[in-house]
Amino acid sequence: MIKESRERSVAYGLTESAIPDFSSVSRTDLTLAIEQNRVLHTHALPVMETLYEQIINTHNMVILTDAHGLIVHTLGDDDFLEKANRVALQPGVAWSEQSKGTNAIGTAIAEQAPAQVHANEHYLIANHFLTCSAAPIFDSEGSVIGVLDVTGDQNSFHKHTMGLVRMSAQMIENQVFSAAYQDAITLHFHSRPEFIGTLMEGIAAFTQGGRFLSATAVACSSSACHSPR
């Protein structure tokens, strides 16, 4: 994944020694982006708060972006947020591969899969002090609608961070799915009853007449349904 991402970074015309692009959208455009992603934003914020509680005082921050890598919300330790601002890790700035090269947010979007980028795996030398773990967030149709990321000082790297991010992203996905099909009949299932009500359960939505509408990725991985992904 990192090798392919670095190749894309070169193709975009980026140089490793480039100064980070600090250009950001206007406050009005940021407000508009948040409004356009209202469902994502609404369901992600409580999950971000919970995730941050797990990593507080570890020189890390939690980041939410839209489908294009535009940062729309952050939470973090004050000491690290100051460092993050030096490389434009702040609301209103895009962290796509096209603008920042190999980085967890942009690479997760490009690969449509979780991405972990540590220290000098980042394309831009200016970002080598970072360690980042990101997971894309999918809607009920299987399209990427955003990215959840935990970024910190490279010395704060922990092998369990990626797992926390992926679980949190799945929580957001399930809530977005439930919101999309709040008027439908939803079936929650798992081969083991004790897993009902956990992130391990599958969720499928049906019309009042019993016609299948959609299902979560977990549901499709454990059944014969067709996943949009």
Average pLDDT, the chain: 91
Tell me if 47 sits within 8 A of 172, measured CB to CB: yes
Whole-Å CA distances, 85 to 42, 74, 79, 82: 24, 11, 10, 5
- Alpha carbon distance 191, 62 (integer Å): 33
- Alpha carbon distance 93, 72 (integer Å): 8
Residues 6+ apart with CB under 8 A from 222: 190, 191, 202
- Alpha carbon distance 119, 128 (integer Å): 4
Residue/partner pairs of 118-126 with CB below 8 Å, 24 or more apart: 118/154, 118/157, 119/154, 121/2, 123/5, 123/6, 123/9, 123/14, 123/16, 124/14, 124/16, 124/18, 124/20, 124/100, 125/16, 125/17, 126/18, 126/19, 126/20, 126/87
Question: Residue 205's pLDDT band (boundaries 50, 70, 90)?
Answer: confident
Give the range among 45-54, 97-106, 196-205 with minimum mean pLDDT: 196-205
Give the pLDDT of residue 39. 94
At 46-86, the pLDDT tens digits run 999 999 999 999 999 999 999 999 999 999 988 898 889 88
State the helix-helix crossing angle for 104-111 and 2-11, rounded to 10 degrees.
100
How far does Cα 220 stand from its chain's mean position? 21
Tell me if 199 sits within 8 A of 85, measured CB to CB: no
At 141-153, the pLDDT tens digits run 889 999 999 999 9
Question: Residue 108's pLDDT band (boundaries 50, 70, 90)?
Answer: very high
Enumerate domains of the chain plus CATH numbers. Answer: 2-179 (3.30.450.40), 183-221 (no CATH)
